[in-house]
Amino acid sequence: MENTYNPMELMITIAARNLEDGAMVVVGTGVPVAAAMLAQMTQSPNLTILFEAGGIAPLLPTMPISVGDSRTTHKGLKATSMAEIMELCQAGIVDYCFLGGAQIDKYGNLNSTLIGDNYEKPKTRFPGSGGANDLASLCWKTMVVTPQNKKRFANKVDFVTTPGFIEGGTSRVDAGLPANTGPYKVITDIGVYGYHPDSKAMMLLSLHPGKTIDDVKANAEFEVIIPDNYETTVEPSELELKLLREKVDPSGVIIGRG
């Protein structure tokens, strides 16, 4: 029997599969925490979840509404400060972080600060970095989960809030960021993307069932590298969907967004 699922359910499932057992991940509210919870219920019971406000390894009773609310330390292993979480990332302990943003460019640089070209009087002001710049600078691998369209997949982001591979090549390390860190995957409603090992430009890894290369191209302002050997995304299993709908997000707060 084929499963039916919506794009949000697919993206969360793919994100969850990327979190191997024994790894450490800093998550935000919404998709990231849903993915981490699903991973813990499937292949990664020993996935350690951290929240940037200070919560470490809670037994999450329900999805938090804030990365600092009391759910994030519920039966946790440690409750600490934001500085300590960022220091753990800076020390090289944390494998993954999850980020989003209003815009992403082909090197994985993210904008969550503003739209417009006048910093002093922006057309649209967004929250800013929050912890995003820190996490993307300091964790080993940055994953981005985002719906894909031409506005979001931008040739040039209006403001580089958060570093990806900067200008590609070695420019990230040249800027002083820790070696061997950087963007890892971008999970959208169309496909999953990685980065070319040398140029560090975004590259298709797998296409979701029913999606086409034309969809990829039509929904990115920049040229996405399309290698010969990209894959087709494995659909969510019955078990994954069941857990996601019944245990992770029973009230449909996240997956209800479609």
Partner 1 sequence: MSDKQLKKGIGELFTSPNADDMRAFLKDKSKQMKNKLSSVSEAIDQFVKDGDYLAIGGFGGVRIPTALIHEIIRKEIKNLGFAGHVSTHDCQLLSAGKSFNRCDAAYIVGLEARGLSKNSRRMFESGNVKVTEWTNGALSWRFKAAAMGLPYLPSRTMLGTDTFKRSAAIEVECPFTQQKMAALPALYPDVAMIHVHRADVHGNCQIDGILVADDDIAKASKRVIITTEKIISNEEIRREPSKTVIPYWCVDAVIEMPYGSYPGNMPGEYFSDEEHLADWLKAEKDEMQLEEFIGHHILSSKDFYEYLEKNGGMNKMRKLMQAEHLY
- Of 3, 65, 150, 212, the one binding partner 1 by CB under 8 A: 65
Q: What minimum distance in Å lies between the beta carbon of 220 and partner 1? A: 21
* Separation CA 194–CA 182 (nearest Å): 11
Binding positions for partner 1, 143-172, rule CB under 8 A? 159-163, 166, 171-172
Edge to edge, the sheet with strand 191-195 lists: 78-79, 55-56, 48-50, 24-26, 96-99, 141-145, 182-187, 191-195, 202-207, 231-232
Nearer to partner 1, 166 or 243 (CB): 166
Q: What minimum distance in Å lies between the beta carbon of 38 and partner 1? A: 17
The answer to whether 138 contacts partner 1 (rule: CB under 8 A) is yes
In this structure, are residues 204 and 227 in contact, taking their beta carbons and an 8 Å threshold?
yes
Alpha-carbon dihedral of residues 28, 254, 78, 70, nearest 10 degrees? 110
- Of 69, 149, 196, 199, the one binding partner 1 by CB under 8 A: 69
Binding positions for partner 1, 98-127, rule CB under 8 A? 109, 113, 119-127
The CA–CA distances, whole Å, from 156 to 49, 103, 197 equal 33, 9, 21
Annotation marks residue 52 as catalytic: yes
The answer to whether 198 contacts partner 1 (rule: CB under 8 A) is no
Q: Is 216 left (phi over 0), alpha (psi -120 to 50) or beta?
A: alpha
The CA–CA distances, whole Å, from 201 to 17, 143, 151, 153, 243 equal 23, 15, 18, 12, 35
Q: What minimum distance in Å lies between the beta carbon of 63 and partner 1? A: 9
Nearer to partner 1, 114 or 187 (CB): 114
Q: What minimum distance in Å lies between the beta carbon of 235 and partner 1? A: 27
Catalytic residue among 2, 9, 20, 52: 52
Stretch near partner 1 under the rule CB under 8 A, chosen from 79-87, 191-199, 212-220, 231-239 = 79-87
The answer to whether 175 contacts partner 1 (rule: CB under 8 A) is yes
- Catalytic residue annotation: 52
